Amino acid sequence: MKSAKGRFRAKLHPIAVRFSSSLSVDRKLYREDIEGSLAHAATLARQGIISREDAGKIRKGLLEIRRELEKGTFNPEQPGKGENRFAADDIHMAIEQRLIAKIGDAGGKLHTARSRNDQAALDGRLYLRSAIRTISGHLRSTQRELLRLAEKYRDVIMPAYTHLQRAQPVLFAHHLLAYIAMLDRDAGRFGDAMRRVNLSPLGAAAATGTSFPIDRAAVASALRFDGIIENSIDAVSDRDVHLEAIAACAITMMHLSRLAEELVLWSTREWSFITIGDAFTTGSSIMPQKKNPDVAELIRGKTGRVYGDFMALLTVMKGLPLAYNRDMQEDKEPLFDAAETLSACLEVLAPMLKSITVNSDRFEKELGEDDLLATELADYLVRNGMAFRKAHAIVGRLVVLSEKKNLPLSRIPLEEYRKHSRSFAKDLYSALTPRGSIARKKSSGSTSPREVARAILRWKNRLK
């Protein structure tokens, strides 16, 4: 079969070939590309656009090519022979060229009623659909591991912090439950994005649709999409679902980074609150005593990559006129990197959490000797009829006195308290214990043992 020169009389310059090729990146999409092509060929035959015989040849050839790619016997980045002596510039053309080489003219009919524009948009959505499912599974695994820790250490007390300053006593389980809730919203964002991802662009062709009588709804259904993208220009010219998914990745990475930072802090000798298992820490090349939380640090560090992925694609898309532009070839690297980085971080986080042991006695005695219970004193005065703002000022002066005398609030004599307010009585000291402070919380969603127990049960039922 002779090569048809078509519109061009000169070959693309080798430097331009290398510059414009996306094959090293988008070859990752070969499964999605073949899946879409199988469905497209079937609908072409069903609509009588190509013969069933040709559709059968196309199907057989595509399945063979998929096996070749999986086994590594076909490398699309290596120049072929004869008609395929020049490597294709993307995975779509690589597969098509290979198909034509295998089955002849029938392979050239596959691209009827289709453009690389709607083909690329389809592959991206198929990839995203799979990535979201993988990420969602990892999110649930991480939530379950956090829940296991919360239940195991449900009675452990630690300081809650604001401004990285000790604020009030809190149950460690309550702290972990906050992360479970954050990750649940992350899962919700991916689930919400999936509704927009799971629509088929196939049939939009280059931008305006096709004159062939294809059945867009049927091929969408065959590919397990919820429907089609109605406007053909919109179908090929936007990457907002990519951006939405990367944004969800970035927000999730932010949550993971905050948790990773706390794991790093808690595992220091200064905190001595947790120990991370040896399998998720490393030593020093020079200091034999070191046990470094490298995995947690890498999660924290990789967050910046995903933020960059979001900004990169947002910048690519910001000034593009409708419809398709070659700039949009640059959508794949940030999409792949964001999805795979987040997936890898979640995949390692769950077993790392499983390896953690908590020093249950680390804080309780210390907190009883601290000024974290000052808010309890203010609440005590309010319960005795004083306006909160006035109570706040009185307790603030008592904290200054505590610091001056180097005495914890629980050891300041009653007569000293009564100099500041006659509302103080002997029972004030019952307010000055960490467990008493936690137990007195009454609001829904608080750190009280009852609320924490309810939350653990609720999450156990939800995460089954």
Sketch the domain layout of the chain as residue ranges: 14-108, 116-361, 371-462
Model confidence over 145-195: pLDDT tens digits? 999 999 999 999 999 999 999 888 999 999 999 999 999 999 999 999 999
Model confidence over 296-328: pLDDT tens digits? 999 999 999 999 999 999 999 999 999 999 999
- Residue 133: per-residue pLDDT: 97
- Residue 375: per-residue pLDDT: 83
Q: What percent of the chain has pLDDT over 70?
A: 96
The answer to whether residue 84 scores a pLDDT higher than 60 is: no
The answer to whether residue 81 scores a pLDDT higher than 60 is: no
**Between 1.10.275.10, 1.10.3720.10, 3.40.50.2000, 3.40.50.11540, what CATH number should domain 14-108 receive?**
1.10.275.10
What integer is the mean pLDDT of 424-444? Answer: 88
What integer is the mean pLDDT of 274-278? Answer: 95
Domain with residues 116-361, CATH architecture: Up-down Bundle (1.20)
User: Catalytic residue numbers?
Assistant: 163, 284
What integer is the mean pLDDT of 242-260? Answer: 98
- Residue 364: per-residue pLDDT: 83
- Residue 13: per-residue pLDDT: 84
> pLDDT band at residue 86, thresholds of 50, 70 and 90?
very low
Comparing 130-144, 380-394, 417-431, 448-462, which segment has the lowest mean pLDDT?
A: 417-431
- Residue 184: per-residue pLDDT: 98
Distance CA 199, CA 357 (A): 45
**Beta carbons within 8 Å of 261's beta carbon, 6+ residues apart:** 296, 300
The answer to whether residue 1 scores a pLDDT higher than 70 is: no
Which of 400, 409, 413 is CA-nearest to residue 433? 409
- Residue 88: per-residue pLDDT: 80
Domains 14-108 and 116-361 share a fold: no
- Residue 195: per-residue pLDDT: 97
Average pLDDT, the chain: 92
The answer to whether residue 85 scores a pLDDT higher than 90 is: no
Model confidence over 21-48: pLDDT tens digits? 888 888 999 999 999 999 999 999 999 9
Q: What is the pTM of this model?
A: 0.90
Under CATH, which number does the domain 371-462 receive?
1.10.40.30
State the virtual CA torsion across 274, 276, 277, 279 in degrees, nearest 10.
180
The answer to whether residue 69 scores a pLDDT higher than 50 is: yes
The answer to whether residue 54 scores a pLDDT higher than 80 is: yes
